[in-house]
Amino acid sequence: MSGAEHPAKSMAVKDGTKDIRIGPVTAMAEFERCVEVQLAVWGYSDGDLIPKRVFIVADRIGGQVIGAFDQDVLVGFAMALPGYRDGKPYLHSHMLAVLPEYRNGGLGRRLKLAQRDDALARGFDRMEWTFDPLEIKNAHLNLVRLGAIVRRYIRDFYGPSTSLLQGGLPTDRLVAEWWLRSARVRCILGEHGPGEEMAQTAAAPDGIVERVAVPHDIHNWKRNPEQRKLAEQLQASIRLALESAFARGLAITGYQRALDGDGCFLLGPATGL
């Protein structure tokens, strides 16, 4: 499964008023551009910045580096590395980045779907990635728009981060499991065939027994030193609630966003994957 032989083909997609092309990243200048986009999105210091060589390795060893191109300019990318757990290979999607001016038009989801197409073509059944439980938009994308589930919480996964987006908090992460061929994912993506029973949507799944709220004010709390304590307290509260639920065999199977921007994790049995 050489990364230089991706079967995924480029395709033209629409993001707002711009024509965006999604396709494999293969040229040296494009790998260098991935580093530039990464820096623009997260503002990392040199110690946290992933260098060009890692993108090249990901491509060469059977991972993925898939780009979003406005004309010939890379404006976003998704990078994954091959992994192995429970006796089976999978892809770990380590990084998804879209420049600010190209956000909120569905480009992040299109990059994820291109990852899925490539993974399925190469025989993978599962992808995983980590995400910050305090980031409401990301949670909604992962759980509702893509159909991932979550059964693991990892405290301070990366250690201290220089990204301003982290707000000085521990890098706690949830692990998204994306079961690429599952009925749940296929139904959420509109791929169910004739006679297949429609799955409940991830925005309102059946069997919810617990809820964990995430107020949208967390974004301001993380960025304001005077309110940082509120962010720390909320993170600790969510951490304990989700760890407790996972220890009791529950999974995050849905997510809801209120009109005021608040988010809420929905937990129940991990069925119908």
Two tokens at 168? 């000085």
Q: Band the pLDDT of 152: cuts 50, 70, 90.
A: very high
What is the rounded distance in angstroms from the CA atom of residue 127 to the CA atom of residue 115?
9
Segment 155-213, tens digit of pLDDT = 999 998 777 677 789 999 999 999 999 999 999 999 976 555 555 566 667 789 999 99
Q: Band the pLDDT of 15: cuts 50, 70, 90.
A: very low
Segment 88-99, tens digit of pLDDT = 999 999 999 999
pLDDT at residue 205, as a whole number: 74
Stretch 66-95: mean pLDDT: 96
Which residue in this structure is represented by tokens 């590395």? Answer: 81
pTM as predicted: 0.88
Q: Which of 195, 54, 213 is nearest to 139 (CA)?
A: 213
pLDDT at residue 257, as a whole number: 95
Segment 215-269, tens digit of pLDDT = 999 989 988 888 989 999 999 999 999 999 999 999 999 999 999 999 999 999 9
Which residue in this structure is represented by tokens 């992460």? Answer: 173
What is the rounded distance in angstroms from the CA atom of residue 266 to the CA atom of residue 149?
10
pLDDT at residue 16, as a whole number: 52
Q: Which of 70, 71, 76, 69 is nearest to 40 (CA)?
A: 76
Domains annotated on the chain, with CATH: 3-201 (3.40.630.30)
